[in-house]
Amino acid sequence: MLHSKKFPAATVMIFLVMIISGQLTRADETAGLEYFETHIRPLFAEHCYKCHSADAKKLKANLYLDSRAGWQSGGDSGPAIVPGKTEKSLLIHAVSHTDDDLKMPPETRLPDSAIEKFSTWIAMGAPDPREGEVKERLPKIDLEKGREFWSFKPPVAHPVPKVKDPSWPTSEMDRFILARLESENLTPSGDASKHTLLRRVFYDLIGLPPSPEEMKSFLDDTSRSAFESVVDDLLARPEFGERWGRHWLDVTRFAESSGGGRSLVFPDAWRFRDYVIDSFNQDKPYNQLVREHLAGDLLSHSSVEQRNTQLIGSGYLVLGALNYELQDHELLKMEFVDEQIDTLGRTFLGMTLGCARCHDHKFDPIPTADYYALAGIFQSTESMGKGSAASGVTSFATTKLEVTNSGEIEQARESLAKLSTQISTFKSQLGKELSQGSLNPADLPGIVIDSAEAKLIGDWKKSSQTSPWVGEGYLHDENLLKGKKQVEFSTTLPETKSYEVLVAYGAGSNRATNVPVIIRHADGETTISIDQSKPALIHGCFISVGTFPFSKDQPASVTISTQGTTNHVIADAVSFVAPGSFKMPPGDRQKIAAKLKNLEKEHKSLTANLKKLQPVTMAVSEADIIDDGHIHIRGQVRNKGPKVPRGFITVAMKPETSANIPAKHSGRLELAHWIADPENPLTARVMANRIWKYLLGEGIVRTPDNFGQTGELPSHPELLDYLALRFIEDGWSIKSLIREITLSRTYQLSSQTTHHRDPENRLFGRAPRKRLEAELIRDTALFVSGQFNPARGGPTIRKAGQYDLNYTFDSTRRSVYLPWFRNSMLDLFEVFDAPNPNLVVGKRTVTNLPTQALFLMNSSFIREQANLTAQRLLSEKATITGAYQLILSRPPSQSEEASTQSFLDQFKPDQEEEAWTQVCQTLFACIDFRFLD
């Protein structure tokens, strides 16, 4: 910002008059151009052209200063000069070197005289004779061309292909698969055996194996609808939501702590987990799920329950991995916004939007402006809470859930308030005050005079570092100008009698030990020295300086002096109380202390109870300030370019449509509706592809979180469109789509192949050989051993501390209910490729590492489950077939039976439990357990 005193006042006056009075005269114009030629052109040429002209070796910031048009249209940061407005001209801002992020020329500041010349010239209206057009900048993203990419074109209903073998397909989707196989001269593999199929569909739909009884009843059911009834049964079980909810938790990068340097625990994140599980169990339409995730706080509702559910759903936006420790709050806020944009892009749209934060997307037609159009939406959203100023750690946003028991809460609150008053009375009687922060003078006994009402001599600094204090903070002398500063508290007391005088200060080790306190009373003046390094016990901040006679006709005053002190002096408040109020016989102290202890106990349990009555959830809300965001040039938070209107991803919008976000809306609601719209080309495709992937091992697009240029192309684009449209037609029902896919012949094929023509199974000519994921290994082991705790939902973090370090996992509940932290994970999960909760994971890593083998062979967990399973088998008559059926859901082959028998035969008769333990452990480790055919 340039001050007018920096350039000659007379010049300014002249030009101001000219500008205000209208156009410059011809003579002025000539004078202006002369001024340009004499002073400005040389400055540009010498200091700016090197980087900002057509001759520049490398043009910086897309800014040309060698023509009028150059500074008019400006570079990355917008127009460089606003004629007549020096204070609005970026050029002046840059050359004055007042902003660390924008200093030009970067190396050395121009002399003041040169800056004044620029200012004068701009004030003149920046006359500039230099013609010439701005050269073409970097090629702009061509949205029309971008819309040609397959995933941005709306899905269309393709005719179901004709096939040579019409007897094979049992569904329309089978026809898409078979037609493609036939075109490659391939035939699908045979159908899976009933054993294989039942195990497959159990794990795929509910994540647990069929029991031997369930297997038997399926084998016995020879009706044509046998499989269909199994599918319908499984889709209706509560375990379905636990299994598919976990998939969704991968995609929503769910975790119960923040990760980062200090990984904050999210004590209420479990509500989101339970909400996801419930949503899948209720078969909530997917478009509704999307809307709740992005704008659950803004959706209309017809009941308290619905409002709460929707609110919990919006926790999606708050659950991200973030380093809440970042001290730079502007940056932290932008990092939060970036996490939200990047995550929602991958989750719902299969787009990597994060790339457009710093520059136009290199591969996809997403300009930076689109990114900041979305950023404006999330900058206008409140996602962060207050946190602690002391530790510098911020927090995440929470909202109170609505409750139907407001009467009960009110009652609890009242009793809590009563209890607090009692406690504080007892505490002050005992000379210890629990208070933190500010003590309200009105709540304190006696006549209190706060520092705010005191008369100050010299400069005193206001502070509130040391808690507690009275009223509005306290004063300290900054340990400067000793003897020149004092604080006088004075008042007129209501009665002529003796009062005990209390003086308040926040004690600390750097405080003066010899602070003179001068009391002016009815009998004259007394000076007492106090030691402010010692704690003040009355209410946590007062000490008594003695009892003195006062008269109601004379002012009573207490002065804190700094005379002769060698360390910091504090002046907070003074209080006049009835003498002896804070002394009591020692016997009473004990009694009161005991009472106090009881009251505190009661207070604690009542507080916990109230917390339960008044639950909160992680949720976003509209920010106080709703505004469009600036483009951040090259992603730098402080390098602000022009503002862009809040909006969505242009390339995925219908041409000639706009976001239409009302001025008072952040735009989240509109964004949610846009993503959930059947016309959005990506939303249904991305989700249908995910569902296909979970059932058939690979997606039709094998990069489920990336439908952009860097992702893979669909192997069966028409089938994907078919699935997406079916999904929308069926009211975005996830269960219906799962049902349709599982009932297809394609799903029910054997994983065996007779040829090697399609090694990656891109054509889905056979069933995939999937891996049991980490959770499935653990849940199955617990399930067959009988240790499985089937409890559902609720908070599961034992003793949630502030951070997630060194947590001990000791639960036997289903894996989805285990605490899911970013900085510490159950070792089994780590070893068996559980997803990294910092990222959207639509496709988990699959590895074959020796550490997995070591876990299966040597860990106490597997050994213990094997032992319990053995005991279970031995409780009846243990048979080899029984063990295989229990663990592998199939009888042993002849050779397996023989091997197992001869292994068992090595053990002595009294080693039966050990023998069976080892058999069970071996079955947990074998490849037919770990792979799902």
- Residues lying near other proteins in the complex (CB under 8 A): 100-101, 103, 106-107, 261, 325, 636, 638, 710, 751-753, 759-760, 769, 823, 827, 831, 847-855, 857-860, 863, 893, 895-896, 899-900, 903, 906, 918, 921-923, 925-928, 930-931
The one-letter amino acid code at 162 reads K
SS3 category, 398: strand
Kindly state the smallest distance separating residue 442's Cβ from other proteins, in Å.
44
Q: For residues 436 and 573, give the distance between their C-alpha atoms in angstroms, rounded to a whole number.
A: 16
CB atoms < 10 A from the CB of 700, how many?
25
> Residue 741 CB, nearest distance to other proteins (Å)?
23
* Closer residue to other proteins in complex, CB, 55/760: 760
In whole angstroms, the minimum distance from the beta carbon of 906 to other proteins comes to 7
Minimum distance, C-beta of residue 927 to other proteins, in the bound complex (Å): 5
**Which spans in 359-503 are helix H?**
368-379, 406-430
> In whole angstroms, what separates CA 246 from the centre of its chain?
18
Q: Which two tokens stand for residue 404?
A: 């139907």
What residue type is assigned to position 239 of the chain?
Answer: E
Q: Work out how close the CB of 484 gets to other proteins at its nearest, in angstroms, rounded to a whole number.
A: 30
Q: Which is closer to other proteins, CB of 840 or CB of 923?
A: 923
- Contact 469/439 with Cβ under 8 angstroms? yes
CB atoms within 10 A of CB 468: 20
- Whole-angstrom Cα distance, residue 204 to residue 696? 9
Are the C-beta atoms of residues 481 and 523 closer than 8 Å to each other?
A: no
Shortest Cβ 897–other proteins spacing (Å): 10
Task: Report the nearest approach of other proteins to the CB of residue 744 (Å).
Answer: 23
Query: What one-character DSSP code corresponds to residue 108?
Result: S
User: Do residues 494 and 536 touch, judged by C-beta distance below 8 A?
Assistant: no
Q: In 3D, which of 800, 802, 835, 831 has the Cα closest to residue 816?
A: 835
Q: How far is the CB of 459 from other proteins (least distance, A)?
A: 27
Sequence letter at residue 484: K
Give the Cα-Cα-Cα angle 706, 708, 710 (nearest 5 degrees): 85
Exposed/middle/buried for residue 842 (C-beta within 10 Å: 0-12, 13-18, 19+): buried
Report residue 484 as tokens: 């020149």
**Nearest-approach distance from CB 932 to other proteins, in angstroms:** 12
- Give me the least distance between CB of 567 and other proteins, in Å please: 22
Nearer to other proteins, 724 or 888 (CB): 888
Separation of alpha carbons 394 and 71, rounded Å: 41
CA–CA separation, 260 and 317 (whole Å): 17
Smallest distance, Å, CB 103 to other proteins?
6
| Residue number, 557 or 751, with CB nearest to other proteins | 751
If the CB atoms of residues 624 and 760 are measured against other proteins, the closer one turns out to be: 760
Q: Which is nearer to other proteins, 578 or 898 (CB)?
A: 898
Distance separating alpha carbons of residues 498 and 526, to the nearest angstrom: 14
CB 933 to other proteins: min, Å: 8
Instruction: Give, in order, the Cα–Cα distances in Å from 163 to each of 53, 181, 643, 846.
Output: 64, 10, 55, 35
Residue closer to other proteins (CB basis): 323 or 563: 323
Helix, strand or coil, per DSSP, at residue 570: strand
Nearer to other proteins, 182 or 896 (CB): 896
Q: 421 or 636: whose CB is closer to other proteins?
A: 636
Q: Which helix (H) or strand (E) holds 864?
A: helix 860-875
Min CB(831)–other proteins separation in Å:
8
DSSP state at residue 801:
-
DSSP E strands in 467-589: the ranges are: 469-470, 474-476, 486-491, 497-504, 515-521, 524-530, 542-550, 556-561, 570-571, 573-577
By C-beta, is 314 or 900 nearer to other proteins?
900
Residue placing its CB nearer to other proteins in the complex, 573 or 862: 862
Nearer to other proteins, 490 or 802 (CB): 802
Rounded-to-integer distance, Cα 317 and Cα 293, Å: 7
How many Å apart are CA 922 and CA 933, to the nearest integer? Answer: 19
Nearer Cβ to other proteins (111/850): 850
